[in-house]
Chain A
Amino acid sequence: MSSTTPLLDVSGLTKHFPIKGGFPIRRTVGHVQAVDGLDFQVNESESLGLVGESGCGKSTTGRLITRLLEPTAGKISYQGKDITHASRKDLAPVRSEIQMIFQDPYASLNPRHTVGKIIAGPMEINDINPAGGREKRVRELLEIVGLNPEHYNRFPHEFSGGQRQRIGVARALALDPKLIVADEPVSALLQKVQQELGIAFLFIAHDLAVVRHFSQRVAVMYLGKIVEIADRDDLYGNPRHPYTRALLSAVPEATVDETPPRERIRLQGDVPSPINPPSGCRFRTRCWKATEKCATEAPPLVQVEGNKPGHLTACHYPETAEVASAPRLAKDPEPAA
């Protein structure tokens, strides 16, 4: 990792949503621990993939970084500047540099605005007047994302889902951001954007296969915590956390040659409720190696023995490289199924 200040520095980031209940006086009866103490950095022009199952808090993380949600605890620094609790006015200069691409291309475009208005909106809000006028810039952006500039006056309902997502990308690019948080984007277009424009990405996905083509580094989340973070090749070649291994084994194989098929690791049961997560290591209820220690002691996210620098794993009993190459763990509970 570089010694200079990272573009985005997140430490101990936590978001607990209160659950209100009770009668007649409503009070907080519990918390959904959506995100619980995240630490990671994103460097300039780097793409960090954030991977996890549904409900593990990855979308919440994206919304915390773009400050759509107020963090419960922790710290978010952008270019060394603390923006954790910055007000709307203080945030204004940073706003234009951190943009977001939303998950749902149908809900994220205002149905009553034309494409031109949607993409020009961010420039209007931040009072940016590009040379040649905003309309010219919007047409350029439409071309960059592979849409016809003639569609300037069209409405979102006239486009397909994929095209709408491109409109969302164009809107995010309108402010020349330095960091884009992309929530489950489908488009391969982002890869081109990232390489050509040198924008840093926080790429949120539920599938390791998608992230592989796109991210230089990958963080794996489970129930609001990062369980493993590493450079891409490191993570895919030498996964140390059992959960990462389980996820990787679920990735479909592209080759149909004579190499023996990988052993599929099937995780038992569902993700536990984030309202009352398991003590100690949160993965222990579904882990085949869990011991007493896992229940009492939460494993820290550290560089475990045998890891390259920057490869951090939160596990008491990390997988070893030898085991990884010749898997003999986690017997499939129902091989016939």
Chain B
Amino acid sequence: MTPPTPSTAAPLEVTDDSAEKSITSPANSGNESKSPGQLAWRRFKRDRTGVISACVVIFFFVVALCAPLIANLYGKDPYTTYGLNTPGLLGDNGFPVKPNGGIDGEFWFGIEPRLGRDLFTFLLYGIRNSLLICTAITLLVVIVGVTIGVTAGYVGGKTDWFIGRVIDVLLAFPSQLFFVAFTPVVLALFVSPEENTPVWLTVVCLIGLLTVFGWASIARLLRGQVLALREREFVEAAKVTGASPVRIIFKELLPNLWTPILIQATLTLPNMVTVEAGLAFLGVGIQDPTPDWGVMIGQAAQVYQDDITFLLFPGLSMVIFVLAFNLLGDSVRDALDPKTKR
């Protein structure tokens, strides 16, 4: 397999017409030319782990997007307390009467103890909400990180120094502690303590905080990449022809930065899923009546000794999702950057 960019250490070749003719014989000219992206795609398709992980990840996203449709066909919603409305589903102690958390043909994943909500739809909507929030955070983190990182790397000088110190501080910050301590403070800025916090505000606050603390590592990575690319001769070649800095950044540098951006994005998203779930578990993220992966795990953890299936479904699905996404990230990196392969 030829790497997309041959080693820069390759020696200068003296032009030799006869040798060149043999390389570019008419037989291999034509339209079989492959871009570096196409080569990466070909490598990716051959990576079985990557393809399977991609299928799992796509499955989760399809489920998340189609949650209302699936719930509709299934005929239940995540808010109705079926256990309280229909006698005979929950016993006197508040736990499902049937074994395994009340799994049967009607409630596929069982019902929740005490309130008796349907766990299948609750998990569906939980995945949906978690993935929507985390995709939004990842997009914002990547956009902010890339913008700041590329600016720092390309402009250099004092701007670079200043941004570098901000990144240092952000990376040194105990962000998890900060979220726990400051989410209530930030929320209190907008809502008085007596009122109920609207869900959208919690979501916006969560996205904002995680973005603020998430962009630093990707910005630092891209700054380094830009510093390396900036000195390459093709950038100078563009300058000689009069290209503006905007054109150099978007047309010359950015196409060469998609690899690290894509890799970082695929590693950021599963990380955000766990962080978001962790915050919900700790009670500073999404709150109970709103279905969420973390909320569900938090609820289940309170009763896991009596009803392990409640914890099993959200826990297992999250492990599978995060694992698949991380493996996908690795495969993407291997495909785009064959030289880093172990």
B158 to chain A, nearest CB (A): 13
A157-B6, A186-B14 are contacts. A111–B36 as well, Cβ < 8 Å?
A: yes
**Which of B5, B6, B237, B244 is packed against the most chain A CB atoms within 10 Å?**
B237
Interface SS of chain B: loop
Give the contacting residue for B29; candidates A108, A114, A148; CB below 8 A: A148
Task: Answer whether A162 and B247 are a contact pair too, CB < 8 Å, given A96-B242, A112-B256, A157-B5.
Answer: no
- A68 and B19 alpha carbons, distance in the complex (Å): 35
How many whole Å from A183's CB to the nearest CB in chain B?
9
Are A125 and B15 in contact, with the CB atoms below 8 A? no
Query: Which B residue sits closest to A156, measured CB to CB?
Result: B5
User: Does B15 contact A104, Cβ atoms closer than 8 Å?
Assistant: no
Q: Which residues of A contact B256 (CB under 8 A)?
A: 110-112
Q: Chain B CB within 10 Å — which of A66, A99, A157 has the most? A: A157
B245-269 CB contact bits vs A (8 Å, 1 = yes)?
0010001100110000000000000
A189 nearest CB across to chain B (Å): 7
B234 / chain A contacts, CB cutoff of 8 Å: 107-110
Chain B, interface size category, equals 35 or more
Which of B10, B238, B242 lies in contact with A88, CB distance below 8 A? B242
Q: Mark A103-147, 1 if CB is under 8 A from B, else 0.
A: 111111111111000000110011000000000000000000011
A154 within 8 A of B: yes
Contact of B15 among A66, A108, A166 (CB under 8 A): A166
A103 adjacent to B15 (CB under 8 Å):
no
Most chain-B Cβ atoms within 10 A of its Cβ — which of A121, A126, A168? A121
**Cα-based distance from A41 to B274 in the complex (angstroms):** 67
A113: chain B residues within 8 A (beta carbon): 255
A95 within 8 A of B: yes
Complex Cα spacing A98 to B256, Å: 27
Residue of B nearest to A106 (CB): B8
A226 at the interface (CB under 8 A from B): no
Asked whether, in the complex, the Cβ of B240 is within 8 Å of the Cβ of A66, the reply is yes
Are B17 and A146 in contact (CB-based, < 8 A)? yes
Q: Could you mark each residue 1-18 of chain B with 1 if its beta carbon is under 8 Å from any beta carbon of chain A, else 0?
A: 011111010111111110
Docked-complex contact A110 and B240, CB < 8 angstroms: no
Q: Interface digits, A64-77 against B, CB 8 Å rule (1 contact, 0 not)?
A: 00101000000000
A-chain residues with CB within 8 Å of residue B24 when the two chains form the complex = 147-148, 151, 163
Determine if B35 is an interface residue (Cβ-Cβ < 8 Å).
yes
> Does residue B243 face the partner (Cβ distance < 8 Å to A)?
yes
- Contact at B33–A161, with CB atoms within 8 Å? no
Contact B36 A157 (CB under 8 A): yes
Contact A111-B13, Cβ < 8 Å, known A68-B236, A88-B244, A153-B31? no
Q: Which of B13-45 contact A (CB under 8 A)?
A: 13-17, 19-20, 23-24, 29-31, 33-36
Give the most central of B14, B234, B252: most A CB within 10 Å. Answer: B234
Within 8 A of B (CB), among A164-188: 165-166, 168, 171, 175, 186-188
Q: Using known A-B contacts A96-B242, A155-B34, determine if residue A160 contacts B8 with beta carbons closer than 8 Å.
A: no
Nearest residue in A to B254 (C-beta to C-beta)?
Answer: A112
* Contact A104/B14 with A68-B240, A171-B237 known, Cβ cut-off 8 Å: no
CB contacts (< 8 Å) of A19 on chain B: these are none
Query: B3 — which chain A residues lie within 8 A by C-beta?
Result: 157
Residue A78 lies at the interface, judged by CB distance under 8 Å to chain B: no
**Is there contact, CB below 8 Å, between B23 and A160?**
yes
Q: Are B6 and A162 in contact (CB under 8 A)?
A: no
Whether A100 lies near B237 (C-beta < 8 A) is yes
**Cα distance, A106 to B12, chains bound together (Å):** 9
* A64 CB → nearest B CB, Å: 12
The residues of B that contact A168 with a CB separation of less than 8 Å are: 237
Are the C-beta atoms of A106 and B242 separated by less than 8 Å? no
Contact yes or no, B15 A112, CB < 8 A: no
- Kindly state whether residue B302 has any CB partner on chain A within 8 Å: no
B194 at the interface (CB under 8 A from A): no
Residues of B close to A122: CB separation below 8 A: 241-242
* Residue A102 lies at the interface, judged by CB distance under 8 Å to chain B: yes
- A contact residues vs B (CB 8 Å cutoff): 63, 66, 68, 88, 91-92, 95-96, 98-100, 102-114, 121-122, 125-126, 146-148, 150-151, 153-155, 157-158, 160-163, 165-166, 168, 171, 175, 186-189
Q: List 16 A-B contacts (CB under 8 A).
A: A68-B239, A88-B242, A100-B237, A102-B233, A110-B252, A112-B255, A114-B35, A121-B251, A150-B29, A150-B30, A155-B36, A157-B6, A157-B36, A162-B13, A162-B15, A163-B23
**6 closest Cβ contacts across the A-B interface?**
A162-B15, A161-B13, A108-B233, A112-B255, A95-B242, A122-B241
- Seen from chain B, the residues whose Cβ lies within 8 Å of a Cβ on chain A are 2-6, 8, 10-17, 19-20, 23-24, 29-31, 33-36, 232-234, 236-244, 247, 251-252, 255-256
- 19 more A-B contacts (CB under 8 A) besides A92-B242, A157-B5, A160-B13? A91-B242, A95-B241, A95-B242, A106-B8, A107-B232, A112-B255, A114-B33, A148-B29, A153-B31, A154-B33, A155-B4, A157-B3, A157-B4, A160-B23, A161-B11, A163-B15, A163-B20, A166-B15, A171-B237
